[in-house]
Structure 1
């Protein structure tokens, strides 16, 4: 990648979208393939091609920006790992379906865009009809609650049988059970029970319209195109929301305790510079001595700017980063089967719900005192593109420190001396 300009800005934080409005916008523009393809570097995005979404998924990046780091971010920070888990399964399913040569593939025809549009139109008409039949008072009572999708529906449990769960899902969508002799039907039953239906352990953030449209498609065929609508929505969420937030988060080289400590250091250094300048101004010392306060101001304001962007400039001086809490105790727990399997479970397409509260590191890190958190173990930042971004932010912080110091120095040097002592 080329050199980044000093005007570089890290990716802006993207809020989690509301299900209905966001997915509706994706529907309207079909989340065009052009908008979802890896684009050339746009400085406004803050993400260089070397850290692009596809580059990460293809394994072309180094820690802390690998696909495992991305999954850990979604699992432990954003708590939406189901999107990446489903997306990875879907890509793999597309490859396996295309490579299959069995005769029963003829039983799974492609689900076309025209079929999808027809299904969506039919669902909208049904919803409009139900809305006219529902008493206004009842609709108001249940609006915005779990009962809005279906008052009589009950949550499911991950221990139930996939076939029976899929049957319930199809019934709730108003369609008959599909032919079980279609290829990959058992696997798709597990997908429905894991990601699609209400109460699924890894339920995707789908609107009622999208959920029913997907189930109607899956009732007709096991062709990968049956997941086209869900896959578009999931991919757009990953590319346009989760990925920029992951890169923004990865730029931060210190844990929250260290960044707060950096804020304190920056404020302290800046205040020391002010006190020194005031004392020298009130004294009989020559004007030139007041410029000594600039040393503290440069250090203080540079540290503050780095902390504002989530970085500790001291750590960056060594191109180091703090080890993440879930990584911290791995080396201590190599013989612990739970610790070893925790990382693998997140890549299991049909695992249990994405919960980490019972993982061994949670309690151990919570008991860690604040001083140990501030000076946690460090590792080398291996990804060159990330180091370059951090280099630019470091230079920006130093420049900011010099500018602030220069302004304050000019002000204090220009003030007449007090000569009080």
Structure 2
């Protein structure tokens, strides 16, 4: 089964074309919603529903189109893995926050852009302990008591220090802090303080708020200047985010930033990833395939020219069709990043970072079903890969060995269908062009030179 013959693979989207400054926050949200609708209604910009962004993120695809493959592409090719890492963390964080008891969620009210200027609907009756917690913050006069507080004058909110937070399985949050710092003993609180000071804000953390320590780490890693995975945020977005996190740990504090990150992933990274994944060979193999295509075309021209200049009958000139067919089809497929030989077996080359993966230590996978924080954030302290062992080892491989690198079966059916469609397009294009060229040669009179 193939897609329509007029199928076109996703166009490459440059970062300049997806610049944040060209769209407002509302426009980005609308664009995200349109992307979701188009992705669930069939083919969208050369991307079938089976390879939609949501399908990949939810783990509904097979290699080489999994979330891990998407992460590797962003890390090694796009050099922007922090966007996907932050997006996956936020999904997990929002789910965990919404599962908290009501009295804990009440400590971190929902954040709105006009939270500072909104007047309270009525005076609040706060317990002395609660009033002390919110003293000096924007929510000091905008904290709404829960029904339990209204009915119980002795009710005080429980303290939930983040050092006691547990994830599934009972493991302490601090026990896997290495997944965020990777051995580098970073003072997250100090770096977060510096981020607030650079934005002209005072760092007034409310330790009683749920997940405050985790938010401090996230600020240190993704928001603060010099963070291991600093997001590419504008000054306005960064200041607004820090201002919100200064007062609450509610997921709504990330509303604008997560919209920017998701828009970048959906509208730039995802189409580029699908376009890149369609290529079944590495760069040396694709260049080699292009050379074979050009060679086949040249061979067809030489054969057609020699037969035309001879006294042989016109029917013999049709033999040059073989060279033209092979050369043009190979060249068209290679121009789209495909090697027809690999496609014939539905194989692809292993990526350089996959070639040298240890058999007893397979590459880590992202398991979103368990919402494990360490697997979502990944194991590296930063997204720099220049010092990884495979880089030097791959550089030492000669060109011939790279051309005939190890191959693996393509498991994703939708990707195979896209490649089948491109191959069919190459055959049809080669057939039309070959007949035209051979027809021209057949119309030329005999040369009778020999």
Residue 174 of structure 1 deviates from its aligned partner by 2.2
Contact persistence 1:116–1:213 (CA under 8 A): no
Who is 1:57 aligned against? 57
CA-to-aligned-CA distance 1:40-66 (integer Å, 9 cap, x gap): 456560000000001001110001001
CA contact (8 A) 2:353 2:390 kept: yes
Per the alignment, residue 262 of structure 1 pairs with 289
CA gap 1:209/1:369 in 2 versus in 1, 3 angstroms: same
Asked if the contact 1:41/1:47 (under 8 Å) is kept, the reply is no
Residue 84 of structure 2 corresponds to residue 84 of structure 1? yes
Number of the residue aligned with 1:161: 187
1:305 paired with 2:332, answer yes
After superposition, the Cα gap between the structure-2 partners of 1:184 and 1:385, relative to the gap in structure 1 and judged at 3 Å, is: same
Q: 1:342 to 1:361 in 2, by over 3 A?
A: farther
Offset from partner CA, 1:292-348 (integer Å, 9 cap, x none): 000000000000100111101111011111111111122xx335x6x7579998843
Q: Confirm whether residue 334 of structure 1 aligns to residue 332 of structure 2.
A: no
1:25 to 23, 26, 33: 23
CA distance in 2 between partners of 1:340 and 1:316 (Å): 25
TM-score by length of 1: 0.84
2:241 corresponds to 1:214: yes
1:242 paired with 2:240, answer no
Q: Secondary structure at the match of 1:321?
A: strand
Q: Following TM superposition, by how much is the alpha carbon of 1:113 offset from its aligned partner in structure 2, in angstroms? A: 4.6
Post-superposition shift, 1:26? 3.7
Q: Which residue of 2 aligns with 1:104?
A: 104
CA contact (8 A) 1:38 1:52 kept: no
**Correspondence 1:412 to 2:441:** yes
Q: Which runs of 5+ in 1 are unaligned?
A: 119-157
Q: Distance in 1 between matches of 2:37 and 2:67?
A: 16
Residue 246 (structure 1) shift? 0.3
Q: Secondary structure at the match of 1:365?
A: helix
In structure 1, which of residues 355, 361, 374 is the aligned counterpart of residue 403 of structure 2? 374
Instruction: State the distance in 2 between where 1:252 and 1:111 align.
Output: 44
Which whole-Å CA distance do the structure 2 matches of 1:184 and 1:265 have between them? 59
Q: After superposition, give the CA deviation of every residue in 1:106-141 in whole Å (9 maximum; x if it has no partner).
A: 1200012544999xxxxxxxxxxxxxxxxxxxxxxx
5+ residue gaps, structure 2: 119-183, 368-373
**Matched-pair contact (CA < 8 Å) for 2:86–2:377:** no
- Alpha-carbon shift at residue 178 of structure 1 (Å): 2.8
Aligned residue in 2 for 1:363:
392
**Equivalent residues of 1:97, 1:223 under 8 A apart:** yes
**Number of residue equivalences:** 377
Query: How many angstroms does 1:38 deviate by?
Result: 4.5
CA distance in structure 2 between the aligned counterparts of 1:198 and 1:179, rounded to whole angstroms: 22
Return the index of the structure with the highest Cα Rg. Answer: 2
Q: Matches of 2:366 and 2:98 in 1, distance apart?
A: 30
Deviates more, 1:347-356 or 1:384-393: 347-356
Per-residue deviation at 1:180?
A: 2.2
SS in 2 for 1:274: helix
Cα distance in 2 for partners of 1:25, 1:255 equals: 35
- Summarize the alignment of residues 376-395 of structure 1 with structure 2, pairs less than 5 Å apart: 376-395=405-424
CA spacing shift, 1:349–1:98, aligned 2, 3 Å: farther
Change (3 A) 1:278 1:340: closer
Q: Does 1:325 align with 2:325?
A: no
Runs of 4+ with >6 A deviation: 341-346
**Counterpart residue number, 1:13:** 12
2:251 and 2:326 map into 1 onto residues whose CA distance is 57
Could you tell me whether the CA contact under 8 Å between 2:223 and 2:238 is conserved in 1? yes
Return the structure number with greater helix share: 1
Instruction: Find the counterpart in structure 2 of residue 229 from structure 1.
Output: 256
SS in 2 for 1:261: helix
- Structure 1 stretch displaced more, 243-252 or 169-178: 169-178
> Paired residue for 1:171?
197
Which position in structure 1 is the counterpart of 2:148?
none
Contact 1:70 1:246 in 2 (8 A): yes
Secondary structure of the residue aligned to 1:187 is helix
In 2, Cα distance between equivalents of 1:416 and 1:247: 49
The CA deviation at 1:36 is 4.3
For 1:346 and 1:258, the matched residues in 2 are separated by 33
2:312 matches 1:285: yes
Aligned partners of 1:99 and 1:43: how far apart in 2? 35
Whether the 8 Å CA contact 2:68–2:365 is kept in 1: the answer is no
TM-score (norm 2): 0.79
CA-atom RMSD in angstroms: 2.4
